[in-house]
Structure 1
């Protein structure tokens, strides 16, 4: 497994936990990342994802909510919701190519979601691509 994929998994774990019981301090977050990754590049990447999603969560949720026809984010499974947040953050605010962000999100969904999660995540992110393309045109 690549270092970035593992960093995304750890970021997903933190963001999933945020939905229920957020980590209180930066030191706890840093300790968790170090314990799971033990690689500075991976820890830095995961930290950027976590902080970026946290900082932009409201806007990401609004955008995803508009795209996810007939689904509210509250109704989505926690893993799927946070996988979508990570991928949307990477596409909108990061430097990750769209195809890479989608592929990584699908792989996370297959691992941490249900049998249908990969297709569900792919469908939502495909709509995000269309909306982003229209906005930049």
Structure 2
């Protein structure tokens, strides 16, 4: 599984966790269709994201316009932003790579203009 595919699995897992309140490990297991074959990168993108969720939410709120907050974002936008913050702040993935991936995911899975919001937030990080 390449990095892009791992980001898709992470996005789906974090989204499921946010939406249903299920344990992140169960979400990853479900998305991976019962496979426990999870490498360190995917583990960090899922478990690490949830471990740092509160700190990331606070930082996202600081970067959003005054009339917006994290809870106003769609859960898919939340998932993509949280994973992106994990990649930039904890995994030291180059910011340009993370922004490009976030835009790609948003264009495929979110509303038409979501990628602009995500780009604006991540660019400030």
TM-score (normalizing by structure 1)? 0.80
Listed as ranges, the gaps of 5+ residues in structure 1 are: 129-137
Higher helix share: 1
Deviation string 1:87-109 (CA, Å, 9 cap, x unpaired) is: 11111111211110111111011
Deviation string 1:7-51 (CA, Å, 9 cap, x unpaired) is: 11111111111112233474x355335438x694xx322221111
Larger radius of gyration: 1
Listed as ranges, the gaps of 5+ residues in structure 2 are: none
Please, what is the CA RMSD of the aligned residues? 2.1
State whether structure 2 residue 45 is matched by structure 1 residue 49. yes
Question: Which residue does 2:88 correspond to in 1?
Answer: 91
User: For residues 13 and 111 of structure 1, do their structure 2 counterparts lie closer, same or farther at Cα, with a shift above 3 Å needed?
Assistant: same
TM-score (normalizing by structure 2)? 0.87
Question: Which residue does 1:67 correspond to in 2?
Answer: 63
